[in-house]
Amino acid sequence: MIPHDDFTPHGYLDNPYHSWKLNPSGVLRSMAPLGMGWHVPNLGSYVRNQFQYTAHLTIGLKINDLVLVTAEDFSRHGCTITSSLHTKNRFEYTCFIQRYGLTLTARYFLIQEHAIGCILSLTTTSEQPLPVTCYLIHHHVHNPFTSRLWEHGLYALKGPGECSAMLGLASEGDVFVHGVRAADDTRLACGELGYTVSLAEISQWIRGRAVVQPHITQSQEDTGWQVRTLALPCSLTLESHQEHILNAVLARGVSQDQAYQHWEDGIEEIALAEVEHHRDDEEFWQRAPQLSGDWPDSWRRSWVYDLETLRMVIRPSAGIIPHPWDGMQLQAPREVLAEAAMDTLFLSYADPELASEVILGHFESALHPNLPCMREDGSYNMVADDGQICGTAPEWGFPL
């Protein structure tokens, strides 16, 4: 049974397409208060902040005079944000707004390599119909110093679809489309876009205060990064004790045409993708051990964190590695025998067949007898000062 608990409302999701050399597709990481998105090629601290961009989808709300966008907004108004579901495939926020008896859940997952999905659920215990404006927000940080393209800044447009928005690089570069559709018969009305630098400025804009839009080339004085926030408002009316479901997608592409196609495909496939992720989670947890009884709550949750992290670092076949393999860590996966030995030992409690395949594969795919530390393209990443290609034996990490 898939664990549901009081998990920390932040963390990672798996991007099975990501590898360090052949396809640095990016890692999926949460952003406060209710966001999830790409860090490309990874978090940035791994290689002296040489990231290319971060692109997060997050959610804001306006209910009468109450505006909730930033983490400070939610905290100031006494809203609680928790997470009851966090697997390698799916991450769900639950936000309760006591003043209106409103519960919002935002379940994030990867639909395909270039589309992040979010299924939003809104319910209220209010006895009267409750008008709400939901803001689908794309928060973007672009690092122009790592680009090899003919570019100078960013533009924002209404998307080709009725409830979509587009953020892209000029004169050349990636394009991002985000938007929403109702999954049921809920009537949506999408309004004019808000375009600022920060989430805090979007919060001010929603309150009706004057906010200056960023110009094309605008960048941060201290870092040179170009930060943009693009908000798409969609209004709906919540009926008492009735669940309203919205499907939202943030998609990316190398052109406007490609990004919008990924968005359209994503919005059509979002329900099926969630079903497949649920099935994968269910299959894993039917066999995986869980703590029960009078263990401390933190111990019970930590068991889930460890197993789900372990699921995430088992990478699919890539490059010269023809089998599932242990990537040691998420940001920049590499094949290392020491960590693989420990990981597969723990994995064997949940999936002994996969654990056997992974550890055997490390030996079968090794290019030298000492099983050198290796990336998926066959390059070595532990070469000593004297030029020797090094491997890391299991005793490196096992307690002796």
pLDDT value at residue 46: 62
Higher pLDDT, 49 or 25: 25
Q: For 316-332, what is each residue's pLDDT tens digit?
A: 999 999 999 999 999 99
pLDDT value at residue 392: 85
pLDDT value at residue 344: 95
Confidence band (pLDDT; 50, 70, 90) for 394?
confident
Closest by CA position to 90, among listed 3, 181, 185, 178: 3
Comparing 83-87, 127-131, 146-150, 303-307, the range with the smallest average pLDDT is 146-150
pLDDT value at residue 43: 80
Q: For 89-131, what is each residue's pLDDT tens digit?
A: 999 999 999 999 999 999 999 999 999 999 999 999 999 999 9
Confidence band (pLDDT; 50, 70, 90) for 393?
confident
- pTM recorded for the entire structure: 0.96
Per DSSP, which regions of 64-174 are E strands? 66-68, 80-86, 90-97, 102-112, 115-124, 130-142, 151-158, 164-171
d(CA 373, CA 393): 10
Q: For 130-142, what is each residue's pLDDT tens digit?
A: 999 999 999 999 9
Q: For 292-310, what is each residue's pLDDT tens digit?
A: 999 999 999 999 999 999 9
Q: How far is CA 110 from the centre of its chain?
A: 7
Q: Taking a C-beta distance cutoff of 8 angstroms, is the pair 326, 343 a contact?
A: yes
Determine the 3-state secondary structure of 78 from DSSP. coil
Cβ-based neighbour number of residue 400 at 10 Å: 3
pLDDT value at residue 138: 99
Higher pLDDT, 292 or 177: 177
Q: Is the pLDDT of residue 44 over 80?
A: no
**What DSSP string describes 294-343?**
S--HHHHHHHHHHHHHHHHHEEPPBTTB-S-EE-SSSSS--B-HHHHHHH
In order of start, what are the domains of the chain with their CATH numbers?
A: 12-285 (2.70.98), 297-396 (no CATH)
Residues 6+ apart with CB under 8 A from 196: 202, 205, 211, 213, 214, 228, 229, 231
| 196 Rama class: left (phi>0) / alpha (psi -120 to 50) / beta | beta
pLDDT value at residue 147: 86
Q: How far is CA 228 from the centre of its chain?
A: 18
pLDDT value at residue 49: 61
For residue 207, what are its two tokens? 């309150």
Q: Taking a C-beta distance cutoff of 8 angstroms, is the pair 39, 27 a contact?
A: yes
Q: What is the mean pLDDT of residues 234-240?
A: 97
